[in-house]
Amino acid sequence: MKDYVSTDMPAIITATDVNSLNLTGHVYIMDIRSADDYAAGHIENAVNVAAGSILTHIEGVDLTPYTKVAIVCLSGQTAGWACCLLRIMGYETVYSMKWGMCSWHDDFAGPWKNGIKNTYATSFTSDATAKGPAGELPVLSTGMETGQEILEARVNAVLAEGFTPAKVTNAEVFGAPANYYVANYWSEAHYTDGGHIPGAMQYTPKVAMSVTADLKTLPTDKAVVVYCYTGQTSANLAAYLRVLGYDAKSLLYGANGMIYNTTVEMAMPHFDESYIMGYDYVQ
């Protein structure tokens, strides 16, 4: 099995591609929003699946007719968390839909329209903070023996706890910074030039989060907050780290929720209304 976090992560598909594949019957769509949200409007052919049940659900689906599986949520963040868990279980055709239902139609775009903010633009710093010293990996107690059994047990445990323990708001982080070890998950150039949360340490995507690189610098006795540009990649990463036993949390909406104007000025990934496609939906 490939090292997903260092290769394909994040595995993201656009609403445009989901729509095109859906018209030809080549995508299996799992909508992991609440039953009420699903009933209020969803993509035609999408199946409503509780987030905690995605593994047992997909195990019972014949995926032969489909080239891709798309996981859909409100903003793309919970779907990113879910996508990672299925990917590391070997489902390599699974993707999270970029920006979630916010990108499907304006009727669902509220979470992202309300999520972009500049609240902490004056709080960011260019001063670098060194990573912590390398320590040990978390100790896992699953009662299982083989690597595959341990992996399955850990994935099922993360699914059972849901996305809630794996997310954190920027207000919580800035309100009690001593409670968190903050990992900035974007390029070193953006870490310096775009600024970062004070005290955050820079971890290079597709490089840093491996045992042979910087994974062991993450503490096992403190909550680890990871943040990216939009919260979609960090949701993937938080899921991966939680499977390994870290108390990892994804910072919701990433830089878009803290320094939105900077993300636009520096051409960082950012949400705007051009991503709202206006596709039909059913109820």
Please report the domains of the chain, with CATH numbers, ordered by start residue. 4-113 (3.40.250.10), 147-265 (3.40.250.10)
Share of the chain above pLDDT 70, in %: 100
Q: What is the model's pLDDT at position 160?
A: 98
Q: What is the model's pLDDT at position 1?
A: 57
User: DSSP strand E in 89-197: where?
Assistant: 94-97, 167-168, 180-184
C-alpha 270/C-alpha 264 separation (Å) is: 7
Is it the case that residue 222 has pLDDT exceeding 90? yes
User: DSSP strand E in 62-114: where?
Assistant: 68-72, 94-97
Q: Is 191 exposed, middle or buried (0-12, 13-18, 19+ CB in 10 A)?
A: buried
Please compute the mean of the pLDDT values over residues 164-175 and round it to a whole number: 98
- pLDDT tens, 30-42? 999 999 999 999 9
Q: Residue with structure tokens 């209020």?
A: 40
- pLDDT tens, 93-124? 999 999 999 999 999 999 999 999 999 999 99
Structure pTM? 0.97
